[in-house]
Amino acid sequence: MTERNPNPQPKIGKAERLKALLARDPGVLSCPVCGGALLFARETSALRCARGHSYDLAKKGYANLQGRGGDAKSVYSRALFESRRAVFGFGFYEEAARAITGIAKKHLRPSEAPIRSESAGAHRVLDAGCGEGYYAFMLSRDAQLRDACRFYGLDLSRDAVAMATDYDADIAWIVADLAKPPFRDGAFDLILNALSPAGYGAFRRILAPNGVLIKVLPGRDYLRELRALLGERGRGESEAAAHCAKHMRIAERANIRYRCALQAEQKKALPAMTPLTAGKNLDPSALDSLHCLTIDLEIVAGRPF
């Protein structure tokens, strides 16, 4: 089971934590209406730009810069993210998270950073398409990264981001469109985009000149047992992988492939965790035949063209 709070700290409210995170990193957010810098105003507890556009902070500890449109498509429902949280809690993706963290450290070199995250020159890390926040949280657990980086999580789903705030970590959670990320140019040293649609042009804009994008893609055998129950055949190179190769200057590739044994409780969470099952009827009794689940991921690091 994944630990949720490996480094206990004095408890602080979610909204107060977000205010503190935004106040220490002024100007990184940009107004989605006019593009001007968004600054946190303590007197109003809101984000405001010079033209008067204002965005209140949610009591749950996130900033909604998408307004009423801040909901993902129906296939990415709250039930899906709740199921994913359960699956993450079973530890199925811990090995993948460790591999991603290792690659992030290789490129950021946090041990060589002469400054801590409170300093103006600290590395910024964005989990773009963060969902319920697992990978951002796992990155923030690493002691070296935690000392050298400021963490942001971005997703279009308010339900997912609201769930992400449950993690006890210094991560600024933002609801906004990945295609139009509300950040200033060159703001991030590293962007993680894990099993989520990528906006390569947008990522290139908000990456620092020497920044790196880590893209996580489903491998050929990803969730093969669940796919078999749905009647899907084996996969060749995915469209996402081919698309990635066309839009990134790839510096590093890694394949993470392993199998997880399944218990009865774990099987129940599987069908709702992926859009693969959307609109399809999966016989509950068929899940009883599953004894393991294959995690097969391609991790690609580089820079968008």
Q: What is the CATH number of the domain that holds 191?
A: 3.40.50.150
Q: Is 35 left (phi over 0), alpha (psi -120 to 50) or beta?
A: left
Provide the domain count of the chain. 1
Q: What is the widest separation between alpha-carbon atoms in the chain?
A: 60
- The answer to whether the predicted template modeling score (pTM) of the entire model surpasses 0.85 is yes
Q: How far apart are CA 272 and CA 69, in angstroms?
A: 24
Q: Tell me if 173 is assigned to some domain.
A: yes
Instruction: For residue 245, tell me if it sits in a domain.
Output: yes
Domain assignment present for 198:
yes
Q: Tens-of-pLDDT digits for all 305 residues of the chain?
A: 444 544 544 578 999 999 999 988 999 999 999 999 999 887 778 999 999 999 999 999 999 999 665 554 557 889 999 999 999 999 999 999 999 999 999 999 987 765 544 454 589 999 999 999 999 999 999 999 999 999 999 999 999 999 999 999 999 999 999 999 999 999 999 999 999 989 999 999 999 999 999 999 999 999 999 989 888 765 555 677 888 999 999 999 999 999 999 999 899 898 888 888 877 777 778 888 899 999 999 999 999 99
Does 1 map to a domain? no
Structural domain that includes position 199: 14-304
DSSP β-ladder status, 54-56 and 46-48: antiparallel
Q: Please indicate, yes or no, if residue 226 is contained in any of the structural domains.
A: yes
